[in-house]
Amino acid sequence: MDTATDVVQPLQSAPRTPPASRRPMIPALTGLRAFAAANIVFFHFLNPAWFGPLAPMMNNGYVGVNFFFILSGFILTYNYVDRQAQGRFHAREFWRIRLTRLYPVYLLGLLISLPILKLEWHYQTLPHFWEGLIATPLMLQGWSPLLATFWNTPAWTLSCEVTFYLLFPWLLTLAWPQARRKLLLLLFIFWMAALLLPTIYMVFHLDGLDTINRYSGGYWLRAVKLTPLAHLPAFLFGITLSLFNDRLRLTDKTRLIFAVVSLASILSVLQLGDRVPYLLTHNGLLAPLFAVAILGLAGTHFLSRALGLRPLVFIGEASYCLYILHFNLWRWIHDSGILTTLHIARFDPWVSYLMLELAALAAYRWVERPGRNWMHRILPGA
């Protein structure tokens, strides 16, 4: 999913002062995106036998979506808060940049998913089919719990991102707290807000389900899992985290400790598998750990340099392409018989994972970049 990839090199440990130019990038966060996106792919297409003792970790790969929502708020605020303060931020231009970033690959994802429409035709009622056919190209399908996964399953998150982008220029104008203590309190409030709807759902058994896991279905469950307002607190958490980070005085040694401890903790929680509450985890239970990881990787140390290596950053930059394309591209790989034709089926699923990654890198190079430039030329500027 898109997470506002204008990200950057390690932050300094001093308080924020308005710069004359754009802030430097934090490449370690882009590198981390590569792993989060890959784990979402593993989550969607997982046989426990493929990963052995690591299977529980992959089965919890859905938490990457919440991480991306938080990271999106963090990165956008990091890039635009100073411009807003200096009167150099223009909402119309911001929306133009975000749309041109999202839509070329989003459209490609719909095109390669056209065969799915035949299944949707048989699965949906006629009114719902036409509603989904209209709403999905407009990135509005996520507002309907029944249609959120219409046509291209993972694309529901784009409805969330578009909603966040529409709100972001207004959110930047709000009177955010300046004191670190108040920002820390606000982080806690948004974390609790993210867990409110899942908790209500679980307490009142809104769909009458005995168990709730990745395979559970129900109208209200889909509403809690897939609709934009349910994930808005995560985006607000990311905005607050960026403002909090700007006011921290942390040494790079402290940031390294943050990064190591938080990443180890995240992996440990994921390894617990079904012992962690699915719906709470899906909607933000791990937000504090994600926050500490982001703060840690915003420093200059060996771990941030490792995650900021250019090949890994390039893969991270293509993570949006991987996310949007992987679901139905995997289906095409296995329905087309290409693995058998090329006599490489015995290497599956690893060869399929590799093909998805190569397709994402190709889409980033030959669809996202030129598509963005083309849309910049045809769309009116600010």
In this prediction, residue 379 carries a pLDDT of: 87
In this prediction, residue 23 carries a pLDDT of: 83
90 phi, psi to nearest 5 deg: -120, 120
C-alpha 84/C-alpha 78 separation (Å) is: 11
> Does some domain include residue 7?
no
Position 381 confidence tier, pLDDT thresholds 50, 70, 90? low
Written as six digits, the tokens of 201 are 């759902």
C-alpha 75/C-alpha 160 separation (Å) is: 16
C-alpha 226/C-alpha 65 separation (Å) is: 11
Asked if residue 25 has pLDDT above 80, the reply is yes
Asked if residue 18 has pLDDT above 50, the reply is no
Asked if residue 17 has pLDDT above 60, the reply is no
Are 309 and 285 contacting, i.e. CB atoms less than 8 angstroms apart? Answer: no
Task: Work out the number of other CB atoms within 10 angstroms of the CB of residue 80.
Answer: 21
> Does some domain include residue 348?
yes
Asked if residue 14 has pLDDT above 50, the reply is no
C-alpha 368/C-alpha 371 separation (Å) is: 5
> Does some domain include residue 2?
no
Are 322 and 310 contacting, i.e. CB atoms less than 8 angstroms apart? Answer: no
C-alpha 140/C-alpha 157 separation (Å) is: 10
> Does some domain include residue 370?
yes
144 phi, psi to nearest 5 deg: -110, 115
> Does some domain include residue 17?
no
**Global pTM value:** 0.94
Helix 287-297 and helix 252-271: axis angle, to 10°?
A: 150
Structural domain boundaries enclosing 80: 27-378
Mean pLDDT along residues 365-375: 96
C-alpha 157/C-alpha 228 separation (Å) is: 8
Range 198-205, long-range pairs (CB < 8 A, 24+ positions): 198/224, 198/279, 198/280, 198/282, 198/283, 199/280, 201/279, 202/277, 202/279, 202/280
Q: How far is CA 76 from CA 80, 151, 283, in A?
A: 6, 28, 20
Mean pLDDT along residues 90-112: 97
Mean pLDDT along residues 171-192: 97
C-alpha 182/C-alpha 176 separation (Å) is: 9
Mean pLDDT along residues 75-99: 95
Chain segment 142-156, per-residue pLDDT in tens: 999 999 999 999 999
Position 30 confidence tier, pLDDT thresholds 50, 70, 90? very high
In this prediction, residue 22 carries a pLDDT of: 73
Residues 6+ apart with CB under 8 A from 154: 1, 40, 44, 323, 324, 326, 327
Burial (CB < 10 A; 0-12, 13-18, 19+), residue 290, is: buried
Q: Please state which of the ranges 19-33, 165-179, 189-203 shows the lowest mean pLDDT.
A: 19-33
Asked if residue 56 has pLDDT above 80, the reply is yes
> Does some domain include residue 21?
no
DSSP 105-124: HHHHHHHHTTTHHHHHHHHS
Mean pLDDT along residues 303-321: 98
366 SS3 class: helix
In this prediction, residue 21 carries a pLDDT of: 59
Asked if residue 186 has pLDDT above 50, the reply is yes
> Does some domain include residue 268?
yes
C-alpha 215/C-alpha 54 separation (Å) is: 20
Distance of CA 356 to the CA centre of its chain: 18
Q: Where do runs of H (alpha helix) occur along the chain?
A: 27-44, 48-51, 55-59, 63-85, 91-112, 116-123, 126-135, 156-172, 180-204, 219-226, 228-246, 252-271, 278-282, 287-297, 302-307, 310-317, 319-336, 338-341, 350-363, 369-378
- How many domains does one find in the chain? 1
Asked if residue 15 has pLDDT above 90, the reply is no
Determine if the peptide bond prior to 349 is cis (ω within 30°). Answer: yes
C-alpha 290/C-alpha 258 separation (Å) is: 10
> Does some domain include residue 191?
yes
C-alpha 66/C-alpha 157 separation (Å) is: 10
